[in-house]
Structure 1
Amino acid sequence: MSAWERWFAEQREERERAGLQRALRPRARDEHLIDLAGNDYLGLSAHPEVRRAAAGAALGWGAGAGASRLVTGTTELHAELERELAEFTGQRAALVLSTGYHANLSAVTALAGKDALIVSDAHVHASLIDAARLSRASIEVVGHNDVSAVRAALADTDRRAIVLAESVFSVLGDAAPLAELAAVCAEHDALLLVDEAHGLGVLGPGGRGLVHALGLAGHPNVVVTATLSKALGAMGGAVLGSPALIDHLTNRARPFIFDTALAPAAVAGAQAALRQLRAAPELPGEIHRRAARLADRLVVPRSAGAVLSVPMPSPGVALAAQAKALAEGVRVGCFRPPSVPDGVSRLRITAQAGLDAPSWNRAAEVLARIIDEHRSEQ
């Protein structure tokens, strides 16, 4: 056994002792499970019009974009989707990237640098954490949703400053105090970067996001990132803001410049999903109704969006509850350290507007029973 093989074995043993070993589990196309682990909040990934649009784009444009956006990878579909995303969210311009992860990497690394300060909420997504590290900026992590700590950090620097937050946080499901954060940023001429991954399609009138709902769309101190892989059921990411911002990213964001463009099928699928959302603005409301009823039944705080967070006594207990739910036909997520910022293992349940009522009700009954059984375990 080589030194590397021994190291891999030791690392796996350490993960297994801590109950943190993970594995890929391919799902079948025709599996009969109620999925409350995924992020297809509106059920648009399987919508017939969305499927047809994605298939048509693949047939018409090919399986991939063929190059980076600045070479030949930008198609008419990319430009159309960017216009429609900007208009839908109340922004002046948008830039589509291959993933939401790339959107955050691009925005943060291109806007910050070794002369900048990043003030980051302690609960931001891993993509924002990685982006901050790659930017070479000084980083100050502040308490979750602590506006006073952000104000103190900005008052204590003369550097260009960027504040990182999510509209709805992916672990706890709570909302950021965006209005207060935007005011503090404007006061100190800092930039507030808001990740709307779990807000787009879920919050605000017709699912336009929390930034739009609070009247912050187009604010000179606010930049938005988003993903196309959650409520829109496709793949990809976007940065939204001013034309000057998009021009800067197009020229300076390495994760954008050197990455192959998002495949036409994903672009067309996201565009079709966005159009379905515009045609059915009542869809986000069903997410909130279901999430609120399930939260009350599970005795956990109501979510600002679609994500319900159910604390469990330990990683092992969380895994056992997840496995039992799966055996009864319900898939839920399981967050364990180091994926959770506060070290608390959780079941992560997403409210799905695309499920029929009998399936949703059955899933709620299964989860209520299983979670109640496992909560007292140590």
Structure 2
Amino acid sequence: MPKLPNWLTDSLVLQRERQLWRQTKVLAAPQNTQMSLAGETYLSFCSNDYLGLADHPALKQALAEGALRYGAGSGSSHLVSGHLDIHDQLEQALAQWLGVERVLLFSTGYMANLAVISALGGKDCPILQDKLNHASLIDGAQLSQAPWRRYLHGNVDSAAKMMARMEQLGLLVTDGVFSMDGDIAPLSELVVLADQEHWMTMVDDAHGLGCLGDQGQGSLSLAGLKADAVTLLVGTFGKAFGTAGAFVACSQEMAEYLTQFARPYIYTTAMAPAMAAATLASLELICSAEGDQRRQRLSNNIALFKQSLPTQGVTLMASDTAIQPIVIGDSGRAMAVSAFLQQQGILCTAIRPPTVPAGSARLRITLSADHTQEDIVLLCRKLADAIDYTSGGE
């Protein structure tokens, strides 16, 4: 193959030197709390499968039956011939669940965010975002070529000041649950601000839907708001739903606008119909008594983790969600803590810059409804050992 340019190979060397090297782990088991890696079994605390649905029998059955009925792929985009009746059923069920007029399906959450922000943002519509918003939201603003700014994390006063300095009405964008910190946006206050200033609002609740609020309706529900309190609500299926894909919930008119102008929607093959069938089964579980039980187990596990965590040498961020980050600081040490835990049979990924700010490398511990109390107590004990070991303790 042709020789690569020097700047490319130099970048790879620098990435290693900075302890920022990324690589893929090849797993050989279903996505659950016990994972098989290179022939060894590990207790996992790094999956976003918060409710433990990814390996649920009902979802696997629905996926299999969906594939037998509809085949493996959808064949084309939603606007050509890829929108099947199972997609339509899922959209309608999601709309009814959230109490909105329309839902549009997307292949990934990243694509949904790119689609919405790039379609709405422009010279006539500036974008205002939380400083810690997900990369897909930031990339959407850059792709839109709109004037855009980021307010201080979770700071409504900062958002208001920046909004007042912008000459045009625009789009206020925030995560519901922040993926690396686990905290929740001040949604009630942000919605009031946007309504007062006549701005549109967009909430990406990838990590809240399914887990929080009434019937798992997410961060907005937890804040006492309905989904139609915001202009656009984005959700993903790859977290609590246990499947894959994403959706945008909005008004009928906004859905029509996105259908005409959101390029990632127009030009992307629709999600596999079997995946839509599995996601419909997941939604039914999330809304059921079993869903309530799983959310309660998850809540109990979060409380147990925070109670059992060692107090010495551990900085736990202010989170009451399934995402429980422990800030280590130095990237090399974060990698060492993660490696120590893996040697002890526990998978917990180290998150490093630029995913998080410089000097705030961390373990992003994620809890599941399927973790047992014994799992969590073991994690906390081994975590104390890891912190002590990497700090030079005996």
TM-score, length basis structure 2: 0.91
Matched, 1:289 2:300: yes
Matched, 1:369 2:380: no
Contact 1:44 1:354 in 2 (8 A): no
SS class of match (2:126): strand
Contact 2:48 2:239 in 1 (8 A): yes
SS class of match (2:329): coil
SS class of match (1:200): coil
Q: CA deviation at 1:272?
A: 1.0
Partner of 2:32: none
Matching residue within 148, 160, 164 for 1:151 = 160
- 1:256-295 mapped onto 2 (5 Å cutoff): 256-279=265-288, 280=290, 281-295=292-306
- 1:7-46 mapped onto 2 (5 Å cutoff): 7-29=7-29, 31=36, 32-46=41-55
SS class of match (1:262): coil
Partner of 2:237: 228
What is the rounded CA distance, in whole Å, between the counterparts of 1:342 and 1:248 in structure 2?
39
Corresponding letter in the other structure for 1:21 = W
Q: Point out the more displaced range, 62-71 or 28-37.
A: 28-37
SS class of match (1:120): strand
- 1:345-364 mapped onto 2 (5 Å cutoff): 345-364=361-380
Matched, 1:328 2:344: yes
Partner of 2:191: 182
Moved over 4 A (4+): none
Show CA shifts across 1:191-236 (max 9, x none): 1211100100111022110112334324454321011000001000
Show CA shifts across 1:307-350 (max 9, x none): 01101131111111111111222111211001114541000000
Partner of 1:340: 356
Show CA shifts across 1:43-66 (max 9, x none): 101000100101111121111111
Partner of 1:307: 323
Q: Alpha carbon RMSD of aligned pairs, Å?
A: 1.9
Matched, 1:130 2:143: no
What is the rounded CA distance, in whole Å, between the counterparts of 1:88 and 1:366 in structure 2?
41
TM-score, length basis structure 1: 0.94
What is the rounded CA distance, in whole Å, between the counterparts of 1:352 and 1:375 in structure 2?
29
Corresponding letter in the other structure for 1:137 = A
SS class of match (2:234): strand
- 1:206-221 mapped onto 2 (5 Å cutoff): 206-219=215-228, 221=230
What is the rounded CA distance, in whole Å, between the counterparts of 2:226 and 2:189 in structure 1?
15
Work out the number of aligned pairs and report it.
377
The 3 A distance-change label for structure 1 pair 344 and 164 is: same
Matched, 1:319 2:335: yes
SS class of match (1:231): coil
Q: CA deviation at 1:2?
A: 6.0
Q: Point out the more displaced range, 351-360 or 271-280.
A: 351-360
Contact 1:168 1:196 in 2 (8 A): yes
Q: Which runs of 5+ in 2 are unaligned?
A: 30-34
Corresponding letter in the other structure for 1:154 = M
Contact 1:203 1:213 in 2 (8 A): yes
Q: Which runs of 5+ in 1 are unaligned?
A: none
- 1:9-158 mapped onto 2 (5 Å cutoff): 9-29=9-29, 31=36, 32-158=41-167
Show CA shifts across 1:263-295 (max 9, x none): 112211111111111122232222222123213
SS class of match (2:104): strand
Contact 1:228 1:234 in 2 (8 A): yes
